Amino acid sequence: MFNLIHYNKDSFVGEYYTVSKRLINCDLGECLVPNPDNDIMPFIDVANIACGGHIGDDTSMIQAIQLAKHHSVKIGAHPSYADTENFGRISQKLSDKALYDLLYQQISHFQKLCHENDAILEYIKPHGALYHDMMCSPVVFKVICKVIQTIDECLSLVVQAGVKNLKTDTSVLYEVFADRAYNGNKILPRSAKGAVLKNADIIVEQYQKFLIEQSFQIDTICFHSDNPASINALQRLRNA
């Protein structure tokens, strides 16, 4: 696991921390069968835990929170459109208020579960279509930032690296994906052929390229828990 050299629990970005390597993050608590969380958690630095939008309930959230605590993995909320049927991967047109209320409910409830389990919610990473809408729509981005400022202004927001510089008072973490194909700095949509990398060697190679990338800021690198090749790649990196 990559260790934080300097860390202030009241902030998670910028001058408050230095990392020996890019932080590894993974989407967990997603009720997959079989559940890969136990195999993945020892290999990562931060866990994006599903909080009821695309998947998840109190039981799965508490299990993931406790597992993250056990492995000293920092915890983030992974909110989504309320769309379990499509796993949160279909964009929705919601009013500003409806989107605000949806995200406030998910994140505030997840934070409550963190507090009840003596854990700290550190950051927010939107899931699926909400993540992509955030990067394309200033309105969606503004609503997400407003929710964060209301719940806890110290929370950071994970956004896609290399696409655009986002202007906000909310602290941001810039993210790339080890197991997704890119066209330049943009990830290919899941509907495109080869969008999800299925070869562990290629995933490891792309991860290593991101470690030395200097043309844009990268704070964290994502591996997806529903991709067996990603789990294999994480195991290889840990054993290297």
pLDDT at position 233 is: 97
pLDDT at position 21 is: 65
Residue 52: name the closest of 104, 116, 123, 95 by CA.
104
pLDDT at position 238 is: 84
10 Å CB burial of residue 235 (0-12, 13-18, 19+) is middle
pLDDT at position 11 is: 38
177-204: average pLDDT = 94
pLDDT of 16 > 70? The answer is no
pLDDT of 211 > 90? The answer is yes
pLDDT of 42 > 90? The answer is yes
Local confidence band at 165 (pLDDT 50, 70, 90 cut-offs): confident
Higher pLDDT, 152 or 5: 152
SS3 223: strand
Q: Please provide the CATH number assigned to the domain covering 4-239.
A: 3.20.20.370
Output the CA angle 81-86-90, nearest 5 degrees.
55
Residue 162: name the closest of 189, 193, 184 by CA.
184
pLDDT at position 173 is: 96
Chain mean pLDDT for the chain: 90
pLDDT of 4 > 50? The answer is no
pLDDT of 232 > 90? The answer is yes
DSSP 172-188: EEEEEETTB-EETTEEP
44-55: average pLDDT = 97
74-82: average pLDDT = 98
